[in-house]
Amino acid sequence: MTTAQTAPPPSMRLRELVFGAACAAALRAAARLGVADALGDRPAAVEDLAAAVKTEPKPLRRLLRALTCYGVFTERSDGTFAHTDMSRLLREDDPASLRNITLWCTEPWTWQAWPKLDEAVRTGHNVVQDLFGKEFFVYLNEDAPESADVFNKAMTTSSKQSAQDVADLLDLSGAASVADIGGGQGHVVASLLEKYPAMHGTLLDLPRVVDNADPRLRPGGALADRVSIVPGDCREAVPVTADVYIIKNILEWDDESTARCLRNVMAAGGPKARVVVIENLVDDTPSMRFSTAMDLLLLLNVGGAKHTTESMVSRLKGAGLVIDDISPVNPYLHAFDCTVPV
Ligand SMILES: C[S@@+](CC[C@H](N)C(=O)[O-])C[C@H]1O[C@@H](n2cnc3c(N)ncnc32)[C@H](O)[C@@H]1O
């Protein structure tokens, strides 16, 4: 069924915007039900899809109809549904799958935090501490293990997609060792070790995260004999000596945590160590809607922010680093290449 699309007036556009949660919830429901996985290359009747994902057909049609308004799935004139470029990204097996990102951005805790955005804007502080009585990553790993798993998988998806870009950009010839601080499950380290066959790597992240490190890095993995896996909190200490430190998508939390992390990295590396900070910037991005939404989510959960070039530069200089170069890794990521001064 097709409906003539004319641009709605402002009064309807605003109504549509305030129902943004309905769109997010519909995407989450489709991802959890596995609708995109059940729909193959050929269009399917909603009754067949409903049988495959074990739902009632009528509400499934309503869910799909809502999503087609956003270009996620399409309904054909015979009433069957087919994939679009966006709905394919909800499939678990798509090489560029966004299924885990979809789940992560709509996890249960987010629905508790968003209503408190006015409070966070008023105070400038995160709301997770009040909601759950502990810091966000502590809450996640101690009290919400399913959300923690979704987070780690979502980060791995993003990392896999950007790790190769990071490895392609960085020239580490001349360095013997690299350490990824808050490196998640280790895709960046793995890509760098694959690029440099004589290099030694270290992955440091929270204990529960490194327990699930990339299989290439774990005992028996292809890179295991060239990697050290260090469980730890980089705000407490960075017990790793390396020629180059990577800090990617970490310095988005509160300023005190950023300062402590940089201080510990600089102390560990010592004079002349290279420190490469990689971040999504909110002032140089092809998607302001995504970046500003993520910026607000960071305010809610860790009292943090997506940086502008200027705010990142001021944090790095404030820590005492010398910035040698700022360059794009890909359209969404920038690398700040720094040195610890002598
Ligand atoms: C946004 S993810 C980025 C992961 C990875 N660097 C990447 O770019 O894909 C943030 C990472 O910081 C880790 N993290 C959070 N607090 C940490 C801490 N205090 N010490 C070390 N790692 C921490 C999280 O476990 C997570 O892996």
pLDDT, tens digit, 9 for 90 and up, residues 260-311:
999 999 999 999 999 999 999 998 888 999 999 999 999 999 999 999 999 9
- Report residue 2's pLDDT band, with 50, 70 and 90 as the boundaries: very low
At 83 the pLDDT is: 98
Chain centroid offset of residue 206 CA: 16
d(CA 334, CA 309): 9
Cα of 183 from ligand 1 centre, angstroms: 6
Kindly state the percentage of the chain with pLDDT values over 90. 92
Q: Is 339 exposed, middle or buried (0-12, 13-18, 19+ CB in 10 A)?
A: middle
| DSSP line for 254-269 | -HHHHHHHHHHHHHHH
| HSE-up of residue 296 (Cα within 13 Å, Cβ side) | 16
At 5 the pLDDT is: 66
At 328 the pLDDT is: 95
Same domain, 211 and 89: no
Residue 206 structure tokens? 């929270």
Same domain, 78 and 188: no
Does residue 325 lie within any of the structural domains?
yes
CA-based nearest residue to 282, from 304, 300, 305:
305
At 101 the pLDDT is: 95
Best residue among 101, 105, 126, 137 to mutate for probing ligand 1's pocket (most ligand atoms within 8 Å of CB) is 137
Cα of 249 from ligand 1 centre, angstroms: 7
Does residue 79 lie within any of the structural domains?
yes
**Entry pTM:** 0.89
For ligand 1, say whether the CB of 238 is within 6 Å of any of its atoms.
no
Kindly state the percentage of the chain with pLDDT values over 70. 99
Cα of 289 from ligand 1 centre, angstroms: 23
CA-based nearest residue to 284, from 250, 320, 313:
313
CA-based nearest residue to 48, from 23, 91, 79, 94:
79
Does residue 48 lie within any of the structural domains?
yes
Q: Which of 78, 94, 110 is the last residue of a domain?
A: 94
- Using the predicted structure, report yes or no on whether residue 186 has a pLDDT greater than 70: yes
Does residue 246 lie within any of the structural domains?
yes
d(CA 212, CA 178): 20
Contacts (Cβ under 8 Å, ≥6 apart) of 49: 35, 38, 39, 57, 60, 64, 81
Mean pLDDT of the chain: 95
At how many degrees (to 10) do helices 309-319 and 255-269 cross?
A: 50
8 A C-beta contact, residue 81 and residue 41: no
Same domain, 303 and 188: yes
| Identity of residue 11 | S
CA-based nearest residue to 125, from 326, 299, 333:
299
Residue 193 structure tokens? 């070790």
Contacts (Cβ under 8 Å, ≥6 apart) of 89: 36, 96, 97, 98, 99
- Using the predicted structure, report yes or no on whether residue 156 has a pLDDT greater than 90: no
Pick 324 or 287 by higher pLDDT.
324
At 158 the pLDDT is: 82
CATH of the domain at 194: 3.40.50.150
At 4 the pLDDT is: 56
pLDDT, tens digit, 9 for 90 and up, residues 107-145:
999 999 999 999 999 999 999 999 999 999 999 999 999
User: Mean of the pLDDT values across residues 67-89?
Assistant: 98
Does residue 119 lie within any of the structural domains?
no
- Using the predicted structure, report yes or no on whether residue 226 has a pLDDT greater than 80: yes
Provide the pairing of β-strand 333-339 with 322-330: antiparallel
Q: What is the DSSP letter of 274?
A: E
Best residue among 152, 250, 261, 275 to mutate for probing ligand 1's pocket (most ligand atoms within 8 Å of CB) is 250
At 3 the pLDDT is: 52
By residue range, what is the domain housing residue 72? 10-94
Does residue 130 lie within any of the structural domains?
no
Q: Tell me how crowded residue 86 is: count the other CB atoms within 10 A of its CB.
A: 16
For ligand 1, say whether the CB of 280 is within 6 Å of any of its atoms.
no
| Identity of residue 100 | N
Between the alpha carbon of residue 341 and those of residues 139, 170, 179, the distances in Å are: 37, 20, 19
Q: Which of 61, 78, 94 is the last residue of a domain?
A: 94
Q: Is 38 helix (H, G, I), strand (E, B) or coil?
A: helix
Cα of 210 from ligand 1 centre, angstroms: 10
CATH of the domain at 58: 1.10.10.10
At 63 the pLDDT is: 98
d(CA 48, CA 80): 10
Does residue 152 lie within any of the structural domains?
no
For ligand 1, say whether the CB of 202 is within 6 Å of any of its atoms.
no
At 297 the pLDDT is: 97
For ligand 1, say whether the CB of 157 is within 6 Å of any of its atoms.
no
For ligand 1, say whether the CB of 151 is within 6 Å of any of its atoms.
no
Which of 160-169, 178-187, 231-240 is the least confident region?
Answer: 160-169
For ligand 1, say whether the CB of 303 is within 6 Å of any of its atoms.
no
pLDDT, tens digit, 9 for 90 and up, residues 202-218:
999 999 899 999 999 99
- Total domains in the fold of the chain: 2
